[in-house]
Structure 1
Amino acid sequence: MARRPRTENSSDQSAANDGAAVSDDVAKLLAQRHANGGDLWATADGRWNVGTPFSTLACGLMLTELGLDPSDPVARGIAQTLLACQTEDGRIRPGPHLTVQPCHTAEAARLLCRLGLAEDARLSPTVEHLLSNQAADGGWRCKVLKFGAGPDTDASNPGTTLAALDVLRFRTPLVTSPEAERAVDTLLDHWSVRRPLGPCRYGIGSRFMKVEFPMFRYNLFFYVYVLSFYPRARRHEAFRAALAALQGKLVDGKVVVEHGKPALDVLSLCRTGIPNSRATHRYAEIVANLER
């Protein structure tokens, strides 16, 4: 059956429905802001990465996808929660006085960038720390060995490397820096190798290939999205193959989320199996990057 042409009224109604869904999602997230014992999804002692998917990190990322204004008190409060854990050398602990790994710093920094602090002087030490602490293979790795020592576990963590690149892309001059391009090469190589690499064993398998949104973890959509900001990646056949895989999953040009966290099914932002307007907006950014 032929589809009815979209009218101005239907477009207005769709926008209204989307706005209502966003407001409903924001309300549901804010209702959980004390879930971990403190405010803004943190624990009473300031840990921001516990209680997933209702941690400060996860909820902050979701709220930015829902259009949270950086000037909003909630955005400022989340930023302060993270910055309160920043060390003098730029690392960001997962909580006051806790041991810090590169993944903590990269994840916190990418949320701070999305909260409007990408060019903030307070984030500069963190960016400098990332640039000066790459692993030998060009990525970033944690110092824990959950799966023992060996050539694969000695590699950098692809997931942490992707998160770090999600930070560097916000500072345009760094997109073509030697440090960023080394990291890009590491992730492009992983598309070919596919084996679980790094101390936390990030691989490219069936789970990776399922579209996930929001971009919490290492997966196809997050991989293509971040790499699309880097000219070195856009010229590479591995990126083009990953992009083709993502495009093959579109439905009428829209992104459909294939895998999510069951606890987030109540949010329209995270719903699986149907076209997702917010994820499709991120895909439009990929397309725009390809035209640069």
Structure 2
Amino acid sequence: MKLNLEAFYASHRGNGGEYWASPEGKLGLENPVSTLTALLTLGELGIPASDPLVQGALTLLKEAVLPDGRVRIAPQGSIYPCHLALAAASFGRNGQGESSEALRVRQRLLATRHGDGGWQCRKFSFGRGPETELSNPGVTLLVLDAFKEKPEAKGELDSAVETLLAHWTVKTPVGPCHFGMGSRFMAVEYPFLRYNLFYYVYVLSFYPYARKDPRFFEAWTVLKEKLDPEGYLPLEAPQKKLLKLGIYESPAVAELAKKRIQRILENLGSLE
């Protein structure tokens, strides 16, 4: 089945520049979507990197990677771990995971882990408390997405996986950005963009440490109970920005989500 990408592609100058960027080179403006969101979405939907718009967006992202592996998504402003995480996941989804830029970003991420093993953006928008001393679950999930098929997935990132499994137990908002596991987290979203049950289970299923843990299987059971008899997931919380751009008008999105469920099952068949 063919994806309906006409409106999405037509939006690539929506921020005033090319490839969903602003004229000044900002890659994070969401009006209607950013360069980073476009790359994550198109890569998740299987659009090849040879596509001219994907290629152009990847060029902008590669140019944003500094020699030390940080990623400057705007000409001015602070650089946060979430920017690196978004870049790393974007490179991975678009077949650029072995590019020199992607390697620098991943090396930087490995060298700048938070004390609990995950990643933390030290921007305390909700004030400070014991919960804000923990890593950011959403950022950590994006990083684990980028590493999920790399050698580091087998052992080196166990402590990062543990931070997400621990969050399943407490579910309350943690990290400086207050990621929680409430009704919004539990509502199925696809394509993978935000911290969400489906994305959580999918990424963790690649990690042997998670596949041996009862907390992971509790999350998988919750997700599995949402499947219909044919193995499809109801997309309970479509991304509003993508909904406006017609992404969900094609049954192909549901088919792709079903393939992600099949990959989880394949991963669970390998319990080393």
TM-score over 0.5 for the pair: yes
**Is residue 36–residue 42 contact of structure 1 (8 Å, CA) maintained in 2?**
yes
Which of these residues, 250, 254, 258, is aligned with residue 236 of structure 2? 258
Alignment correspondent of 1:137: 116
Change (3 A) 1:53 1:288: farther
Which of these residues, 185, 207, 215, is aligned with residue 184 of structure 2? 207
DSSP 3-state at the match of 1:58: helix
Alignment correspondent of 2:203: 226
Instruction: List gaps (5 residues or longer) in structure 1.
Output: 1-17
> Which amino acid in structure 2 is aligned with residue 44 of structure 1?
P
Instruction: Write the mapping of 1:42-121 to structure 2, written as runs, cut at 5 A.
Output: 42-51=21-30, 53-121=32-100
Deviates more, 1:126-135 or 1:75-84: 75-84
Structure showing greater Rg: 1
Change (3 A) 1:94 1:59: same
**Is residue 44–residue 192 contact of structure 2 (8 Å, CA) maintained in 1?**
no
CA deviations on 1:180-215 (whole Å, 9 max, x unpaired) are 111001100100011100110001111110001111
Which of these residues, 257, 260, 263, is aligned with residue 282 of structure 1? 260
How many Å apart are 1:26 and its aligned residue?
Answer: 2.0
TM-score (norm 1): 0.87
How many Å apart are 1:52 and its aligned residue?
Answer: 5.0
Alignment correspondent of 1:3: none
Change (3 A) 1:54 1:89: same
How many Å apart are 1:269 and its aligned residue?
Answer: 4.1
Deviates more, 1:222-231 or 1:57-66: 57-66
Change (3 A) 1:272 1:205: farther
Count matched residues.
269
DSSP 3-state at the match of 2:59: helix
Alignment correspondent of 2:10: 31
Alpha-carbon RMSD: 2.0
TM-score (norm 2): 0.93
Residue 175, structure 1, aligned to residue 158, structure 2: no
Change (3 A) 1:144 1:33: same
DSSP 3-state at the match of 1:243: helix
Larger RCO (alpha carbons 8 Å, 6+ apart): 2
Instruction: List gaps (5 residues or longer) in structure 2.
Output: none
CA deviations on 1:99-142 (whole Å, 9 max, x unpaired) are 11001110111011111111122211111111111111111001
How many Å apart are 1:71 and its aligned residue?
Answer: 2.2
